[in-house]
């Protein structure tokens, strides 16, 4: 049974992903409730109801879920018990098993390799001895990552030689971790896709991602890769969503190896930063597809109206002065998104810009020019 406009949707988490979801949902006449431990949040500022409670407060989670027709999330690192508590009181989409797999790097990689999907070579390590053995098996350089929670390059340690192993083991807290072979990739791409309660699949094609310090910096849509690589990535994404039985949106991030092989780096079971351009560039955005998926409505068209590029605005841009919004607004084909975060810290995602143009090179040049114009004082210019 579809959940119709006028109904309330619950969002666990309260960041920018929930904010853009809430904007899409309110546009279609839904009400939005959000729950997180924070107040005056990016999602809460545009939601109908902002509940302020820790994710561990299962009574609050149940009460929250009882007040809505369906619960979804914008933050996958909520405890499994939170998703389970919500599921006792309302449908949760995607279901808790999707969270369980994707919020833990080791479980995610094990699922992918058991499913026969291409994933970066990895080993589970639970002691320094195991780490030394794994490093010999995989070869160096390699990257040691915490097995559990981690995003945007957090909880990672690059190992260049054997001498780095003890420090790396300390850096991940001397607890269960994943050693990953270092991939000397050609580029990084991702596919944001959605799957309905009936198993229908839609996708936004392969897009190209450039990272800086482990954080997404630029997305170029479509990716500048061959059609063969683009369609292979989409087929892998289709398999991931089917095998994980996802109802909702999921992003698959890939490395494109020098020989053209694709390796999955990571999954995110929700709209993703690399799909933000769809808000301006596609007939239906990733956020609206999430809404349609969780409400069991038919999907909208994913048609992209023009080549696009997205640039993140991190807290570093605030530097000493408020960025020059007027200057950036003077680039007419660039759309400004700000998330309403109360304080700008280095590395914090504060907003993004999306440029639409006749080709991707132009979109990329425009979005970079607009971002550079935000900086008032060239003396204290952060690296852009
Ligand atoms: P992650 O948080 O695991 O997605 O890592 C953030 C970024 O670090 C990735 O998007 C890559 O740019 C880089 N990275 C992570 N793992 C590897 C790897 N095994 N080989 C090369 N680069 C990596």
Which ligand 1 atom lies nearest to the CA of residue 209? 10
Residue of the CA atom closest to atom 8 of ligand 1: 214
**Residue-range domain boundaries for the chain:** 8-92, 121-181, 185-373
- The residue whose CB lies within 8 Å of the most ligand 1 atoms, and thus the one to mutate among 214, 218, 261, is 214
Fold: same for 121-181 and 185-373? no
What CATH architecture applies to the domain 185-373? Answer: 2-Layer Sandwich (3.30)
Residue of the CA atom closest to atom 11 of ligand 1: 214
C-beta 183 within 6 A of ligand 1: yes
Contact 96, 123 (CB under 8 A): no
65 sits in which H/E element: helix 58-66
What's the pLDDT at 238?
98
**Length of the chain (residues):** 384
Contact 308, 221 (CB under 8 A): yes
C-beta 290 within 6 A of ligand 1: no
Distance between Cα 109 and ligand 1 center (Å): 14
C-beta 182 within 6 A of ligand 1: yes
Cα angle 307, 383, 153; round to 5 = 80
Residue of the CA atom closest to atom 2 of ligand 1: 153
What's the pLDDT at 346?
93
Rounded Cα–Cα distance for residues 49 and 41 (Å):
11
- The conformation of residue 174, written as its DSSP 8-state character, comes to T
Which ligand 1 atom lies nearest to the CA of residue 105? 3
Rounded Cα–Cα distance for residues 216 and 367 (Å):
15
Residue of the CA atom closest to atom 13 of ligand 1: 214
What CATH code would you report for 8-92?
Answer: 3.40.50.20
Distance between Cα 17 and ligand 1 center (Å): 21
What's the pLDDT at 155?
74
Distance between Cα 272 and ligand 1 center (Å): 16
Rounded Cα–Cα distance for residues 191 and 127 (Å):
35
Distance between Cα 80 and ligand 1 center (Å): 25
Which one, of 189, 193, 220, 218, lies nearest residue 206 by Cα?
189
Distance between Cα 123 and ligand 1 center (Å): 16
C-beta 266 within 6 A of ligand 1: yes
What's the pLDDT at 152?
58
Termini Cα distance of the chain: 48
What's the pLDDT at 379?
59
Contact 50, 15 (CB under 8 A): no
| Ranges in the chain, pLDDT < 50 | none
Contact 46, 26 (CB under 8 A): yes
Which one, of 384, 348, 367, 377, lies nearest residue 280 by Cα?
367
Rounded Cα–Cα distance for residues 22 and 291 (Å):
9
Distance between Cα 153 and ligand 1 center (Å): 7
Rounded Cα–Cα distance for residues 270 and 177 (Å):
24
Region of 306 on the Ramachandran plot (φ > 0 left; ψ -120 to 50 alpha; else beta): beta
Q: Does the domain spanning 121-181 belong to CATH 3.90.470.20?
A: no
Contact 98, 267 (CB under 8 A): no
């Amino acid at each position: 049974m579809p959940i119709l406009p006028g109904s309330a949707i619950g969002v666990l988490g309260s960041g920018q992903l929930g904010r853009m979801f809430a904007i899409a949902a309110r546009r279609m006449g839904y009400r939005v409730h959000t729950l997180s431990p924070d107040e005056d949040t990016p999602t809460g500022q545009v939601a109908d109801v902002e509940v302020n409670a820790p994710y561990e407060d299962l009574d609050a989670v149940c009460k929250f879920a009882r007040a809505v027709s369906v619960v979804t999330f914008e933050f996958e690192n909520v405890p499994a018990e939170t998703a389970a508590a919500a599921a006792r009181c309302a449908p949760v989409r995607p279901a808790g098993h999707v969270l369980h797999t994707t919020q833990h790097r080791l479980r995610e990689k094990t699922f992918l390799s058991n499913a026969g999907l291409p994933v970066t070579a990895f080993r589970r390590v639970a002691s320094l001895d195991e780490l030394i053995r794994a490093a010999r098996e995989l070869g160096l350089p390699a990257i040691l990552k915490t097995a559990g929670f981690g995003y945007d390059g957090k909880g990672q340690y690059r190992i260049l030689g054997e001498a780095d192993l003890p420090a790396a083991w300390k850096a991940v807290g001397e607890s269960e971790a994943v050693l990953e072979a270092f991939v000397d990739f050609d580029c990084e791409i991702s596919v944001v896709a959605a799957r309905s309660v009936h198993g229908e699949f839609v996708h936004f094609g392969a897009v190209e991602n450039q990272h800086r310090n482990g954080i997404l910096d630029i997305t170029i849509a479509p990716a500048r890769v061959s059609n063969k690589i683009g369609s292979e990535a989409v087929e892998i994404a289709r398999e991931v969503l089917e095998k994980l039985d996802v109802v909702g949106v999921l992003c698959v991030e890939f490395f494109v190896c020098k020989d053209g092989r694709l390796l999955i780096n990571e999954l995110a079971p929700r709209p993703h930063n690399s799909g933000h351009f769809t808000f301006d560039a596609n007939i239906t955005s990733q956020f609206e597809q999430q809404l349609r998926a969780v409400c069991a409505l038919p999907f909208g068209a994913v048609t992209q109206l023009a080549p696009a590029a997205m640039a993140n605005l991190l807290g570093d841009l605030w530097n000493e002065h408020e960025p020059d919004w007027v200057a950036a607004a003077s680039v007419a084909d660039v759309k400004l998104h700000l998330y309403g975060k109360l304080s700008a810290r280095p590395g914090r995602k504060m907003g993004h810009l999306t440029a639409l143009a006749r080709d991707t090179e132009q979109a990329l040049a425009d979005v970079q020019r607009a971002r550079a114009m935000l900086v008032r004082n060239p003396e204290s210019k952060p690296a852009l």
